[in-house]
Chain A
Amino acid sequence: MDEFTLSRIFINLIIATKWTLILSAIAFIGGGIVGFIVMLMRLSASKWLRGVSFVYVEFFQGTPLLLQLFLAFFGLSVVFGINLSPLVAATLALTGFTSAFLADIWRGSIESLPPGQWEAGSAIGFGYLKQMQLIILPQAVKSAIAPTIGFLVQVIKGTSLASIIGFTELSRSAALINNVTLQSLLIFGLAGLIYFAVCYPLSTWSQYLEKKLAYET
């Protein structure tokens, strides 16, 4: 056991980082797809769709991600009588969490466009989805990119909570290695550095884009 040299610790953490990134990617892709649909519902003309999507967004924004992970992992197994693997449970909770925030970020970008853009599209005869596709989204993307990347940083850090339901990503891996080596400062310090190395460039990029696009408009 005392073979846990610095380089082995580091390699183990890097391998676990892979799972942090995979989980982040799943959350982001799943959250992006679901969030896009929720966003369309939030802005639709149907009161019913707006209501459902409103409750969805409020639920995931108004409760802690940790609780959502517990609900997905323990709650769903009670309801459906199946045991979800930590990966599946984390996927569900993180997708819900991410989609709710992305739906709101994107809705904000769309609502910041002048209403005249919708009116001009309507006046020509375009329906809701065509207006979105041809007129609204191409313009909204510009102001959505920076906050979307900024939120990606939150999601990456948020995946650490999946360690609590037994998913071995970077944080849980660090905790496990710490249990054996007891070199807390070194191990958690390294894990922190890895998170930082992933997140910092993204934050910087997001800030850069925000400034750049602000100048352009």
Chain B
Amino acid sequence: MTNFQPRSHSSNTAILETKPIIVARDVEKWYDNGFHVLKGVSSTINQGEVVVLMGPSGSGKSTFIRTFNGLEPYQKGRIEIDGTLIAHNQKGIELLRREVGMVFQQFNLFPHLTVLKNITLGPTHLRGLSKPQAKANAMQLLAKVGIAHQANKYPGQLSGGQQQRVAIARALAMQPKVMLFDEPTSALDPEMVREVLDVMRSLAESGMTMVCVTHEVGFAREVADRIIFLADGTLVADTTPDEFFNNPKEERLQKFLAQILH
């Protein structure tokens, strides 16, 4: 049901493949209550890469991913999106956010707008698309996430899985350079997890750069190019899924895996 344009590259575009989209250098953040939530985290995410972010609850995964579009300000270090700095004072952040799509655990669709309007709102107001253009694009995206027939319904009339797929389409409609997912399947009934993961998988295959916080081991194993492991605000491991699951070196990671893999 889901098919985004397949990655169209030949081997001589390999140089493009290593173009960094997100560069985080020694990122430190304190919450207002003084809590040191990110203690100098560095990572680079290249174009077309799918990176999964794992870690125990409270380790700072959400906080870290939310610094990538300035939803959380940070105090020290440096974050660049496709070469543009996210300043500590968040100046110019709105322009940058257009380039970074985000999908939330709770979907956060706009309940007063139809599915179609949810998707066209950004492109018509921020990308200067005409209404018919935006609508045509939205219908294409809805077809790709498999819910074109629900376009005129309101979010409240859809199942959780359908809402989350609309949320993915809404983020994609802005044609972002990178997509962030913060536990996109954690609020879903088990039978709906699959349909959302399928969309994400197909998006990954189309070449989208993705950063996903998720506890879905199957997705991480099969789709991720790299897995980053955070614990207590520190980056503990940044490695391939194979190394991560089959040959974990760090003690902290071994403990974590023992817990989630039973």
Binding site for B on A (CB under 8 A): 114, 116-117, 119-120, 122-127, 130, 134-135, 138-139
Contacts and interface: CB of A to CB of B under 8 A. Distances in A.
Contacts, number: 57
A125 B94 contact: yes
A120 B125 contact: no
B94 A139 contact: no
Given A125-B174, A126-B125, A116 B108 contact: yes
Contact of B126 (A119, A120, A124): A124
Contact of A138 (B69, B112, B170): B112
B104 A124 contact: no
Nearest to B156: A217
Interface residues of B, number: 24
B101 interface: yes
A126 B94 contact: yes
18 contacts: A120-B104, A120-B108, A122-B69, A122-B94, A123-B69, A123-B101, A123-B171, A124-B97, A124-B122, A124-B126, A124-B174, A125-B126, A126-B122, A126-B125, A126-B126, A127-B94, A130-B125, A135-B110
A139 B110 CA distance: 9
Q: Which of B69, B95, B104, B112: most chain A Cβ within 10 A?
A: B112
Interface of B: 69-71, 94-95, 97-98, 100-102, 104, 106, 108-112, 121-122, 125-126, 170-171, 174
Given A122-B94, A125-B98, A127-B94, 7 more contacts: A116-B108, A119-B108, A122-B70, A124-B126, A124-B170, A124-B171, A134-B121
Nearest to A137: B112
Given A116-B108, A135-B110, A122 B71 contact: yes
Nearest to B96: A125
Contacts of B95: 125
A123 B96 CA distance: 10
